[in-house]
Amino acid sequence: MTEPAVELQHVTKEFYPVQNLNVGVKQLMLRPLHLRRMARNSRFVAVDDVSFAVASGETFGLLGRNGAGKSTLLAMIGGILRPTRGAVAVRGRIAPLLEIGVGFHHDLTGIENAIMNGVLMGLRRHEVEERLEQIFEFAGVIEFAAQPLKTYSSGMQARLGFAIAVHTDPDVLLVDEVLAVGDAAFQEKCFERIAALRAGGVTILFVSHDVRTVSRVCDRAAWIDGGRVREIGPAERVAERYHTELLGEKQSRSAVDFLARTRAAADA
Amino acid sequence: MTIAFPSFARSRLPHAWDLLMVLLRTELKLRYRGTSLGILWSLANPIAFALVLNIAFQHVLKMQIDHYALFILSGLFPWQWFTNSLGPGCAVFVNNASLIKKLPFPRFALCGAVVLGDFVHFLSCLPVLVGLVLWEGTPFDPIVWLIGVPLVLAIQTVLVMALVTTLACVNAYLRDLEQLVRVLLLLLFYITPVLYPYSMIPAHLTWIVYVNPLAPIIVSWRALALDGVLSPWIAVAALQTLVFSLLALVFYRRLAGRLAEVV
């Protein structure tokens, strides 16, 4: 059996809003003994004892509503955040696409931005330069390559950002809610590219709250709820459960609304 | 408990170098975008300052210092490097929060790019110093310069990087530092022998020069420019650089890993 490409063991991430000492120092001077208690009270557990493994070449979805901890998980896998407890292991080179066009600067040209972004994503300079033509062709902005980024529309910028990320030739690609960019045709192109990467054996971790995208793109998925894994399994099944619960909630909420409204009407 | 970090770049050190150079290039490009004189503008500030000081000290206060222009510029150019790097360098992690929160590149590259940007500026000032030395006819030994200039340059580069890294790490957790550094630099300007020669410092106060990380470097540059000699102060500067580099290493290792959470 091959080793998993991404492995999480009992990963927990806690945030202490007070650790940004700006609040802390003033408190420290006023009531030094309270600082420790304050830190404990302000603790926020974003990810709570999460374990799962993603096989090499697998496309894995992370589903969940806003604030469930999906992005925190992805940031830990990407090496941007350190887990408070537990272990994260990633085998191979990772390309974290948590946001499109990180470090883009309006006064630099498309090429300069592509080089900067590509190197920030972990490529050598010459590696980016070798891929420039492919990148600009994929983004469909080849005739603007030497123009400053401020002449690009926001859709063009997003396309360029996505194009760079998928051309970094990673072993593991992390994608966080970034596919909602560009027009329908470009989105289709993104999915094609992701399919091509999958076919090429790239492991993909995919964060979304869009049920359809997950069941379309992913092999397996995990439903993250309140920082914990609620369910893990084949993407379609997990997506459906998640969808059913969301629908159920919406229905019961509208039912409550309806009752309240009729009661208010009766009172009046 | 083990924490394995994902490999972000296939070859770490060469990639870090590329990153540093790309950030540096961007920094330089953005600083002078659209200006026709470009990097020459970095000369404008110290030279204008030197002119004002020339009038104030030579003609109003009637202070007698030989080769005044060379004297003042050989102190002001390296001083400008210190202030340009330490001021903005303090905020470099905070100002690049959007990068730090989204990508796991080595954070040090951001500090390095700031310092190297000002290093390039300083290099562009050096021909002015050489020109003044030749013009004023102060003692000039090409061999001393060939050894001394790269040596003092290297020491100052490492020293400024160490200071910027330390300050930037702490500033991410404690934003007040940035304001404090601004005030301190103002005070340090008068404590450091920039406007006056080291020889004017009374004997019981010379210890200040030993603890002030900016002073020995300035004294060394001035000795090179005015007397054409390698000052023994270079050794003090090197020692300070070693101490501050170790300090920077400690702070960086302890604080850099959690930057994404605090910026």
Question: B68-117 pLDDT, tens per residue?
Answer: 888 888 999 999 999 999 999 999 999 999 999 999 999 999 999 999 99
Residue A253 pLDDT class (50, 70, 90 cuts)? low
- pLDDT for the residue numbered B1: 30
Greater pLDDT, A120 or A16: A120
Q: Which of A67, A65, A61 is nearest to A46 (CA)?
A: A67
Strand A94-97 versus strand A172-176 pairing type: parallel
- pLDDT for the residue numbered B6: 46
Q: What does pLDDT average to over chain B?
A: 88
Residue A18 has pLDDT above 60, yes or no: no
Could you list the beta-strand ranges (E) of A5-74: 6-15, 44-54, 59-63
pTM comes to 0.86
Average pLDDT (A168-195) is: 81
Residue A260 pLDDT class (50, 70, 90 cuts)? confident
- Residue numbers in B near A18 (CB within 8 A): none
Residue A49 pLDDT class (50, 70, 90 cuts)? very high
* Residue A152, CA distances (Å) to A7, A108, A149, A205, B258 in order: 39, 11, 5, 29, 34
Computed on alpha carbons and rounded to an integer, the radius of gyration of chain B in Å comes to: 20
Residue A45 has pLDDT above 60, yes or no: yes
Q: Which of B215, B163, B164, B167 is nearest to B189 (CA)?
A: B215
Q: Which of A9, A10, A15, A21 to mutate to test the interface with B (most CBs of B within 10 A)?
A: A21
Please state the domain extents for chain B: 39-262
Residue B3 pLDDT class (50, 70, 90 cuts)? very low
Yes or no, beta carbons of A108 and B261 under 8 Å apart: no
Residue A256 pLDDT class (50, 70, 90 cuts)? low
What's the angle, vertex CA B96, arms to CA B93 and CA B101, rounded to 5?
Answer: 90
C-alpha A220: how far from its chain's center?
16
By the CB < 8 Å criterion, does A161 face chain B? Answer: no
CA–CA separation, A187 and A141 (whole Å):
15
Size of interface A-B (CB pairs under 8 A): 111
A 115-154: CB under 8 A from B: 115-116, 119-125
Residue B239 has pLDDT above 90, yes or no: yes
Helix (H, G, I), strand (E, B) or coil at B57: helix
Closest residue in B to A77 (Cα) is: B6
Residue B18 has pLDDT above 90, yes or no: yes
B79 forms beta bridges with none
Residue A30 has pLDDT above 80, yes or no: no
Average pLDDT (A27-36) is: 62
Residue B64 pLDDT class (50, 70, 90 cuts)? confident
Average pLDDT (B221-237) is: 93
Helix (H, G, I), strand (E, B) or coil at B59: helix
What's the token pair of residue B13?
Answer: 């050190």
- pLDDT for the residue numbered B5: 42
- pLDDT for the residue numbered A83: 93
Residues A224-234 have pLDDT tens digits of 999 999 999 99
Residues A112-171 have pLDDT tens digits of 999 999 999 989 999 999 999 999 999 999 999 999 999 999 889 988 998 998 898 889
* Residue A261, CA distances (Å) to A8, A251, B129 in order: 47, 15, 83
CA–CA separation, A114 and A136 (whole Å):
9
Residues A129, A43 contacting (CB under 8 angstroms): no
* Closest Cα in chain A, distance from residue B29 (Å): 8
Residues B116-165 have pLDDT tens digits of 999 998 998 888 888 888 888 888 888 999 999 999 999 999 999 999 99
- Residue numbers in B near A120 (CB within 8 A): 19, 22, 99, 103, 105
What's the angle, vertex CA B240, arms to CA B149 and CA B21, rounded to 5?
Answer: 55
Residue A20 has pLDDT above 60, yes or no: no
Average pLDDT (A48-58) is: 94
